[in-house]
Amino acid sequence: MAKQGEKKGNAIVETIKTIVYALLIAGVFRTLFFQPFWIPSGSMKPTLLIGDFLFVNKMAYGYSYASCPSIRIPAIGIDLPAETLCGFLKGDNDRILGNDPERGDVAVFRHPVTGADFIKRIVGLPGDRIQMKAGVLHINGEAVELTPDGTFTEVAALQGPQRLRPRCENGPVGQGGA
């Protein structure tokens, strides 16, 4: 018959095992299939706002070196860039199960120097010439027609998990500003 101390010890070991297995499964799922992101800036307004969350389908364009995740957990001092984890694949930009993006898709990509994640809308496809002239987007020499989409009104309040105020070029000076 098992003693009370043995039962407690086994329960602790089983709990630790369960947590480790759950973290491994979540890590594999996040690496291969879907990854959550939150919007840190207002660069995608009005369709995506500061603090909005989205899940990225990592299977949409296939897998390559760029699909490898960076692992950053500042609270405990972990900062493993993708190059450390998947550096052996660097330079090989062949995609497995790859599909081409479409104009208008929202894409997440990693800055090549800082490793920061960027969330942007695709306006150009491979072979396109992209240019801004007087604030108007031109694709392959043709101006993209601008269509009014209503008035976007934003409240100057704290937004998102970091509780940031919106940053607008023509907005009023914030509290404490000169």
Amino acid at 173: V
Q: In Å, what is the CA distance from 95 to each residue of 20, 30, 40, 132, 134? A: 31, 18, 28, 30, 37
Tokens 């491979």 label which residue?
A: 126
Q: In Å, what is the CA distance from 163 to each residue of 48, 106, 160? A: 16, 24, 5
How many angstroms separate the CA atoms of 7 and 174, rounded?
59
Tell me whether residue 45 is one of the annotated catalytic residues: no
Give me 122's structure tokens: 């695709």
Tokens 């919007």 label which residue?
A: 39
Tell me whether residue 120 is one of the annotated catalytic residues: yes
Q: Are 60 and 99 in contact (CB under 8 A)?
A: yes
Q: Are 107 and 89 in contact (CB under 8 A)?
A: no
| 7, 8, 17, 43: the active-site residue | 43
Q: Are 44 and 31 in contact (CB under 8 A)?
A: no
Q: Which residues belong to the active site?
A: 43, 120
